[in-house]
């Protein structure tokens, strides 16, 4: 359970941030950003799922 807290959640958070930066850069350059939107939704789903799994593991 500690591996989830100290490795996977920060890793997903870092990927989430890098995706956000790439999305903002592509919007500013007026390029297609569909891939970043889909990746952001997928990372959000994984992050929330892992976080809920971690919370359930506390009790």
For tokens 């996977």, name the residue: 8
Q: Hey, what are 26's tokens?
A: 């592509």
Tokens of 36: 């970043």
Amino acid 25: pLDDT: 95
Question: Rounded distance, CA 20 to CA 39, Å?
Answer: 10
pLDDT of 1: 64
How far is CA 18 from its chain centroid? Answer: 9
Collapsing DSSP to helix, strand or coil, 29 comes out as: coil
Mean pLDDT per 10-residue interval, the chain, length 59 residues: 78 92 94 93 91 83
55 contacts 28 by C-beta, under 8 angstroms:
no
pLDDT of residue 54: 82
């Amino acid at each position: 359970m500690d591996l989830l807290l100290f490795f996977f959640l920060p890793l997903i958070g870092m990927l989430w941030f890098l995706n956000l930066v790439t999305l903002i850069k592509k919007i500013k350059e007026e390029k297609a950003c569909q891939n970043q939107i889909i990746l952001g939704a997928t990372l959000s789903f994984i992050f929330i799922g892992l976080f809920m799994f971690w919370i359930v593991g506390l009790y």
